[in-house]
Structure 1
Amino acid sequence: MRDDLAKNICRYRKEKGLTQEELAKKLGVTFQAVSKWETAQSLPDIALLPRLSQVFDISIDKLLGYASYDKPITIYEEEYKTPEYYWGVEPSKICLRILELLPPSSHLKLLDVGCGEGKDAVFFARNGYDVTAFDISDAGLEKTKRLAEQVGVQVKTFKADILDFRLDTHFDVIFSSGVFHYIKPQLRQDILSNYKQFTKPNGLHVFNVFVNKPFIAQAPEKEPTACNWTSGELFMYYHDWLIQECSEVIFDCNSSGIPHQHAMNKIIAQKYK
Structure 2
Amino acid sequence: MNIKYLGKRIREQREKRNMKQVDIAHALQISSQAVSKWERGENAPDITILLDLAKLLGVTTDWLLGGASGELDTFEATVICTSMNNFAKKSEECTPKEMALWANSIFFNITEASLQNDGIPVKYVGDGYLCFFTGIDHTKRAIKTAITAKVNTLNADLKMSIHSGQIYLGSIGHPDYCSSDIIGETVNKAFIHLHWIAENCTSGIGISQKSFSEINSQFKTNEHYIKKMIGIENPVTIHELIYQE
TM-score normalized by structure 1? 0.33
Question: Which structure: greater helix fraction?
Answer: 2
Higher relative contact order (CA 8 A, sep 6+): 2
TM-score normalized by structure 2? 0.36
* Greater C-alpha radius of gyration: 1
